[in-house]
Amino acid sequence: PELVLVPFEFLVTEFKEEDSPFYYDNKKYLIDEYAVSYSPSASIYILQKKMKQTNEDKILLVGDPQISDKDFALSYRGGLLEDDSFNARNIVLFPLKYSKEEIQNVNSLFSNGLTLLSNDATEQKFKENASQSSIIHLSTHSFLHKNQPLIIFSLDKNKKEDGYLESGEILQLKLNSDLVVLSSCRSGLGEIDEAEGVIGMQKAFFEAGAKSVVVSLWDVNDKYTSLFMRSFYKYISEGYDKSEALRKAKIFFKQNYSANPYYWSAFVLSGDVSKIQNVKTASSNYLLFILLGVFASIFAIYFARRKSSLR
């Protein structure tokens, strides 16, 4: 059953025998030749095949949750459970230094993004906007408590929610999203069932109505995750399908930042791999403004010449 936690794209397909096993630059991986995606179970595969996206084209970007005022030099997108039987959810979390930058970089690629950052990154505001979003991106903390995954949000001042998003709450969201990305530690983990695969956040989002989900299989570095997600959405904005966009992001990362599979293969895609429809990119708006400017100039020249001829 543990094979569901192995990303096949990091399997080595070519290497030099004289190279050290820990030398990654000269190795070729499955991802270099193929785009890889997964289906958590047969039931989820059938479910997502029947889905038809009729959603708005809004992109919901949530990140930089308010955790602590302490400054850590290195942070991971996970929580450290305290050994305290009296408070099952008493956790120590590191601040996410690069989460805000990640959200801003992704938002800059599109013209229809809604960002919830810092104090606005609450569970309540997420729930209010999730059902109207075609893409949902959560850049935050996640961790396992008694083998059940939780996603962390900023504490709501009105205390409508406790700031912990659980699988049961996700099932009530009634999503119609083309893509959900859980940009946090171990967001793809949970209890392993022989028939249904991993019972966790990924399965919950599918059953809530998501067509495809990107999750991580282990702890991910904050800075590297921010860089990786910027590349992934860049390829999405350029019109690549989800699986190919993720493949290109992994290849770009290992060529430009680190060839170590630990850093580039943690995130995997499950579900539908097709191209996201009706994505409004920032570049498309830029081109529209250019065209409008050209037409305005043509009309101005035309009317100026016509006016001069009437004289």
Domain ranges of the chain: 2-280, 285-310
Question: Strand 58-63 and strand 79-81: pairing?
Answer: unpaired
- Name the residue among 213, 205, 214, 137 with its Cα closest to residue 173: 205
Please tell me which of 94-98, 183-187, 232-236 the model is most confident about, judged by mean pLDDT.
232-236
Structure tokens at 196: 């249904």
Percent pLDDT > 70 in the chain is 76
Q: Give the whole-angstrom CA distance, residue 130 versus residue 59.
A: 9
pLDDT at res. 1: 52
Alpha-carbon span 109 to 280, nearest angstrom: 9
- What mean pLDDT is predicted for residues 21-29? 84
Binning pLDDT at 50, 70 and 90, where does residue 301 land? low
Pairing of strands 133-139, 179-183: parallel
Q: Give the chain's mean pLDDT.
A: 81
Position 56, amino acid: E
Reported confidence tier of residue 52, pLDDT bands at 50, 70, 90? low
Could you tell me the pLDDT band of residue 91, with boundaries at 50, 70 and 90? low
Angstrom distance (rounded) from CA 170 to CA 130: 10
* pLDDT for the residue numbered 89: 41
Q: Letter for the amino acid at 308?
A: S
Question: What would the CATH number be for the domain defined by 2-280?
Answer: 3.40.50.1460
**CA–CA separation, 161 vs 6, rounded Å?**
34
- Of 113, 39, 83, the C-alpha closest to 281 is 113
The pairing of strands 212-216 and 267-271 is: antiparallel
Burial readout 13-40 (b: 16 or more C-beta within 10 A, e: otherwise): eeeeeeeeeeebeebebbbeeebbbbbb
Name the residue among 144, 226, 131 with its Cα closest to residue 192.
144
Smallest Cα–Cα separation from 48: which of 296, 280, 274?
274
Q: State the Cα–Cα distance between residues 288 and 81, nearest whole angstrom.
A: 50
Q: What is the pLDDT of residue 233?
A: 97
More confident residue, 32 or 23: 32
